[in-house]
Copies of this chain bind each other. A is one copy, B any other.
Amino acid sequence: MVLEIVPNLVNNLWVVVAALLVFIMTIAVGFLEIGELGKHYSRALVKTIIITVSAIFIMAIIGFNTAFAPTVYGVIGNPFYGPGLLLGEFSSNAQGLLTGVWWSMGPKYFNTGLATGSYFLFEAAFASVTFALVSVIVLKKVKMKALALFSIAYFILIWNLPAAWIWNPTGWLYLMGMRDFAGGLVVHAAAGAAGLAIVLEIWLEEKKRGFKQSPKVGIKLNKSWLALGILLLWMGWFGFNPGSVLAFNSSALTVVLTTFLAASSAAVSTMGFKWLKDRAKPDIAYGVNGILMGLIIITPLAGFVSPGSAIVLGLIGGPLFLAAERYFSKAKGFTDPVGLFPGHLVGGIFGVLMIAFFTQHSFAAASGNGILPNGLLFGGGLSALHQLGIEAFGIIVVFAAVFLLSFAFIWLIAKCIGGITDSAYYKEIKSAKAGHRN
């Protein structure tokens, strides 16, 4: 006798609505970009639309499998796993579509009863927004064709490996005990690592073009689109973090809280510290960056901590962002006006490390991560130190893997299409030498 596994209605409802909210975020990143760089940078919009459709398209064909199918030796999901390949192709009996749930959502693993449809859409939206974050670094400098080619590798392999390692219940880092709730590492820091690989290639090409410093791109606020961008991103994070419980229960409600509290307190803290430092009036750019920093920091541990900790983490986010922004703004080799590195890279890594400090076992257990011990600040002692080691190890491995893979692919693409940078842009820059650089 075979017991049929039935999808859990409320969990699916929660996750599929969360998926819709995360889906919004990619184009919201486009609005954030024109909000910070001005409407003349409308390229951000076609870019984020293309990213949205390619993410769904490529993930549906094969990328969902490489990340979330049963893994081959814990390293990569089986690309040919039937129910995930083209999402079951034309089969109406495909597991999880009409008759069951995705394998890892069954009772043997996460036991949340999610159908393939909900889980796929949720994760495809995650892949999409991760790449949108990477792409804030290309500005007008990189050819669209290069980005398009890179996106294929990105959605089949670069995004998928860390996901397979950490979020797949048969992944090697997951089995080692590494946890990253909603992607401080898998999304934010990994986006930063891929971004670094791209700016390295840009810089190598810029040096060949005779630049001694990477041309800087300045901020040019378009406040309405910036406000809309952050509103949509914050709404998206309501799906991003609380949806990552992959179920609707008390833990999901707690994650809503920790997410919103960290965002608010980080915004208060960023504007406050900016004022303390420079007597700068609260302005929209620091408000927005503060909200983002809070959301990024809480992402990897939103399901593991108490509301009180979320507020503390948010408050730390302000000075951390200001310091990181100051540090990265001095870089000669790249320009990062939208803040990929001080925000997503630094905030993501910081948040993952904080797992070993702020986790409270009862919260972690409620979100399905009962393996996590209390953090150092909650009496975790040696177990917490051990967890800190695992998290740090995971950060190093994933950062290195994503950076190297990304650089290898972007370098290869550069070889094939004669460089990834766009000559038109640099001509424009040079001819405008006397005038403004933008």
Q: Are B227 and A264 in contact, CB atoms less than 8 angstroms apart?
A: no
Give the number of times this chain occurs in the complex, counting copies: 3
Q: Are B45 and A117 in contact, CB atoms less than 8 angstroms apart?
A: no
Most buried by B among A34, A144, A223, A281: A223
Q: Interface digits, A338-376 against B, CB 8 Å rule (1 contact, 0 not)?
A: 000000000000000000000011110010000000000
What is the chain B residue whose CB lies nearest that of A285?
B46
A117 to B45, CA, bound (A): 35
What is the chain B residue whose CB lies nearest that of A15?
B253
A235 to B49, CA, bound (A): 13
A238 to B23, CA, bound (A): 11
Q: Are B86 and A49 in contact, CB atoms less than 8 angstroms apart?
A: no
Among A73-81, A88-96, A192-200, A209-217, the one that faces the other chain is A88-96
Given contacts A10-B9, A283-B46, A291-B53, are A121 and B257 in contact (CB under 8 A)? yes
Within A281-304, which residues are at the interface with B (CB < 8 Å)? Answer: 281-284, 287-288, 290-291
A250 at the binding interface (Cβ < 8 Å) = yes
A226 to B42, CA, bound (A): 11
A309 to B94, CA, bound (A): 14
Q: Number of residues in A with C-beta < 8 Å to the partner?
A: 96
User: Residues of B contacting A30 with CB < 8 Å?
Assistant: 227
A7 at the binding interface (Cβ < 8 Å) = yes
A251 at the binding interface (Cβ < 8 Å) = yes
Among A134-142, A177-185, A265-273, A381-389, the one that faces the other chain is A265-273
Q: Are B268 and A235 in contact, CB atoms less than 8 angstroms apart?
A: no
Q: Interface digits, A82-111 against B, CB 8 Å rule (1 contact, 0 not)?
A: 000011111111100111000000000000
What is the chain B residue whose CB lies nearest that of A284?
B46
Besides A50-B267, A57-B261, 18 new A-B residue pairs in contact (Cβ under 8 A), listed by A number: A12-B248, A12-B253, A13-B14, A16-B256, A20-B235, A24-B235, A52-B264, A53-B263, A53-B287, A56-B263, A60-B311, A89-B307, A94-B307, A97-B306, A118-B253, A121-B260, A148-B282, A228-B228
Q: List 21 A-B contacts (CB under 8 A).
A: A9-B249, A16-B256, A23-B235, A27-B227, A45-B227, A46-B287, A49-B230, A49-B291, A56-B261, A86-B308, A86-B311, A87-B261, A88-B308, A90-B309, A92-B360, A93-B362, A97-B257, A98-B254, A98-B362, A115-B250, A121-B256
Interface residues of A, Cβ cutoff 8 Å to B: 7, 9-10, 12-14, 16-17, 19-20, 23-24, 27, 30-31, 34, 39, 42, 45-46, 48-50, 52-54, 56-57, 60-61, 86-94, 97-99, 115-118, 120-121, 144, 148, 223-228, 230-231, 234-235, 238, 248-251, 253-254, 256-257, 260-261, 263-265, 267-268, 271, 281-284, 287-288, 290-291, 306-309, 311, 360-363, 366, 378
